[in-house]
Amino acid sequence: MIRALVITHGNIGAELVRVTGLILGPVEGLSALSNSGKSLADLRAEISAWLAEGAAGGATGAVIFVDDYGGSCATAAQLACGHEPDRAILSGVNLAMLLGFLTWRENDEFAELVGRLVRKGREAITLVGGR
């Protein structure tokens, strides 16, 4: 199974994960992590531990969603993930991306899944009602 971790400032990620559970029911393999009160080294260590736990449990890939490119969440994720082909970091996390992840992860190849998630995230950002 491909796992995902949502890393955000404050509790935004935890709330997004909670809401996906309200919509889809209980979900496995989706967690949240806040950077609140953590140094870059602390955050990197927690991400590394999450990645190691997944590898030990037989996870076939890891997607890390972050709220803002260039912030501490993204930097720590990059340091923890390295350049492994079965790991991806996506910034600009939104609810549509998480719902897509949970819906598609079992049937898509890893690279295809990552591409679909980026497209889904972009499609979810739109002007409602037009002007």
d(CA 36, CA 53): 22
On the question of pLDDT at 29 being above 90, the answer is yes
On the question of pLDDT at 106 being above 80, the answer is yes
Q: What is the CATH number of the domain that holds 6?
A: 3.40.50.510
pLDDT tier, 129 (very low <50, low <70, confident <90, very high otherwise): confident
On the question of pLDDT at 130 being above 80, the answer is no
On the question of pLDDT at 3 being above 80, the answer is yes
Q: What is the pLDDT of residue 110?
A: 96
Cα–Cα–Cα angle for 89, 81, 108, nearest 5°? 50
Within a domain: 47: yes
pLDDT tier, 16 (very low <50, low <70, confident <90, very high otherwise): very high
For 71, the domain range is: 2-123
pLDDT tens profile 35-57: 999 999 999 999 999 999 999 99
* Spatial CB neighbours of 41, under 8 Å, sequence gap ≥ 6: none
Residue of 73, 28, 27 whose CA lies nearest to 47 = 73
d(CA 60, CA 86): 7
Within a domain: 128: no
What total number of domains does the chain contain?
1
